[in-house]
Chain A
Amino acid sequence: MYKLDQPPLLFEASRPGRSTAILPPCDVPVVPLDSLIPAEHLQKSAVPLPELSELDVVRHYTNLSSLNMSIDGNFYPLGSCTMKYNPKRNERLAALPGLGAQHPYQDDSTLQGMLAILHELQNDLAEIAGLDAVSLQPAAGAQGELTALFVAAAYFRDQEPDRKRTQVLIPDSAHGTNPASAHLAGFETVTVKSDSRGLVDIEDFKSKLSDDVAVFMITNPNTVGLFDPQIGEIAGLLHERGALLYLDGANMNAILGVVRPGDMGVDLMHYNPHKTFSGPHGGGGPGAGPIAVRAKLAPYLPSPMVGRREDGTYFLDEDRPLSIGRVRAFFGNTGVLFRAYCYIRSQGPDGLKRVAQHAVLNANYLLSLVRDVYPVPCGPRCMHEFVASCRTLAKDRGIRAMDVGKRLIDYNFHAPTVYFPLIVSEALMIEPTETESRDTLEAFAAALRAIAAEDADSLHDAPFTTPVSRLDEVKAAKTPVLRWTP
């Protein structure tokens, strides 16, 4: 099998004296360095930076980028991450000088176009959520969760000054960020079990619902790809106790334009524009995690918000005395927000609804193509994603979810999310998104089926076509090598 060479590091490709720039002769007076910087702060020996030509550097990074999987090169069914195509027109529009070349310290009067767009995006996101007010500030979904919980805490401090709600309820199928956010916001997290269908175990939920509960954080559709029809009942029970219902909006792609969280009884939520609204993923960011809330929570949202004066001009509204304050510098990560705005305006209401319909259709078609080999415990139908299990393959033949994921790389597909959610053993969490064709879905299903028939022993060493094959994850986590040494 063809195997790529391991590319040399820049340090290894370095040659003494090779350089990219030839500097002109110095045209200012030369003074000794230690007359400018005290000698004790000067480096004693030369810093061993690599010496390379521009072409060396260009080839190095271009070749490295070709080793990486990306949505522009590969089908990327990473469950829960909604790796849909990022339309190139969004890139072009977000880079227009009126958006991409602005400075946050400019006077508001020179940023009217940009502020108008952000103001409209606030309104669009509120409308899609069926809620009243939106903050664009949080820089990622997880920061949106944390910010929303701070908003909830501020609301309860104000409304119920004589008592303290200490708990946040979270289903056992939730994203790991939910308990992390609740903990960071100072709450105790209480886990609510899933029932045999993969939905919230309503009796367990009722037994854990008390006057100490501030918020229930639900993901709907949830991480096994099911819409929980009990959401109305859950919202009713929470509201009777004065508690709030939070929606983790990671899976909004499945319900855009079909149902609004506010109509389901949700009081506050976050969006992931890089998932739902086609912002680029990668490199860990920059992301954005706008939050939408009911009117009663709006006064506590972060400041500033983008406001509109009666004369039609826009401004940054800092005069919000109950606000929890800033959670992010300037306006948040506007680059991602502009792309989300372009996407929402390009699709329009009907287009967004079609996005959800096609995301659900694609996931169900793919599910139907693989479920006889990879059982889907919470099937046979799903929303935008489904969780297949390698449990039988693992038990009978020793082929685990990790082996399947690694081997898919050799077939030129990115792996699904593996071993999540934890309530399904040997989980393969597959989300094709709406932007994939029937041909791609069928090719991916064929690869999954082919892998299940391969020799188990050799699968443990996959992938075979990459510069390095199976990595030692335990060693990498325990004794990471973070610095190159000669």
Chain B
Amino acid sequence: MDPKKLRYSPTHEWVDVEGGTAVVGLSKFAVDQLTDLLTIELPKVGDRLTAGKSFGEVESVKSVNDLYAPVSGEVVEVNQALADDVQILSEDPYAKGWLVKIKVDDPADAEKLMDHTAYETKIASDDH
């Protein structure tokens, strides 16, 4: 996936909506901040995700961080490979390291999130 074409939440999740389905992942910036990853907890197929609420967590040698849903919807697929080897997320956050696929309630929700330029500006100003 091309990071420039994705939408981003303020909590560093990216989303790629195509039709009624969205792929959700974590930005490279967030992954780099976490440093060495240890484990990840993801929801189950069929779970409801609510925009802005936690749907899982990722643990690194530094900290345990919540994963927040960028848009609302129902989980249709979970990246099982990631649950087995979280290293995939460090190596390839925009492709093999995707987290979940969801059937979104309203595809227009993603439009409210930041585009790549806005996200880049945000992380540059946050990182003081």
Contacts and interface: CB of A to CB of B under 8 A. Distances in A.
Interface of A: 176, 196, 377, 391, 419-420, 422, 425, 473-474, 477-478
Contacts of A391: 127
A477 B61 contact: yes
Contact of A473 (B39, B61, B127, B128): B61
Contacts of B128: 196, 377
Chain A's interface: helix, strand, loop or mixed, by majority? loop
B36 A419 contact: no
Interface string B39-73: 10000000000000000000001111000000000
B33 interface: yes
Contacts of A477: 38, 61
Given A176-B64, A425-B127, A473-B61, 10 more contacts: A419-B62, A425-B33, A473-B36, A474-B36, A474-B37, A474-B38, A474-B61, A477-B38, A477-B61, A478-B38
A422 B63 contact: yes
A419 B63 contact: yes
Nearest to B127: A425
Nearest to A477: B38
Contacts of A422: 63
Nearest to B37: A474
Contacts of A196: 128
Interface in B17-46: 33, 36-39
Contacts of A420: 63
A217 B52 CA distance: 21
A478 B64 CA distance: 15
A422 B65 CA distance: 10
Nearest to B125: A196
Nearest to A422: B63
14 contacts: A176-B63, A196-B128, A391-B127, A419-B62, A419-B63, A425-B127, A473-B36, A474-B36, A474-B38, A474-B61, A477-B38, A477-B61, A478-B38, A478-B39
B29 to A, nearest CB: 11
Nearest to A180: B64
A61 B127 CA distance: 45
Contacts of B64: 176
Contacts of B127: 391, 425
A244 to B, nearest CB: 24
Interface in B78-128: 127-128
Among B33, B37, B64, B128, the one with the most A-chain Cβ atoms within 10 Å of its Cβ is B128
Contacts of B39: 478
Nearest to A474: B36
Among B39, B61, B64, the one with the most A-chain Cβ atoms within 10 Å of its Cβ is B61
A427 to B, nearest CB: 10
A478 B60 CA distance: 11
Contacts of A473: 36, 61
Contacts of B61: 473-474, 477
Nearest to A418: B62
A420 B39 CA distance: 20
A176 B127 CA distance: 21
Nearest to A427: B62
Nearest to A472: B36
A176 B57 CA distance: 14
A474 B86 CA distance: 11
Contacts of B33: 425
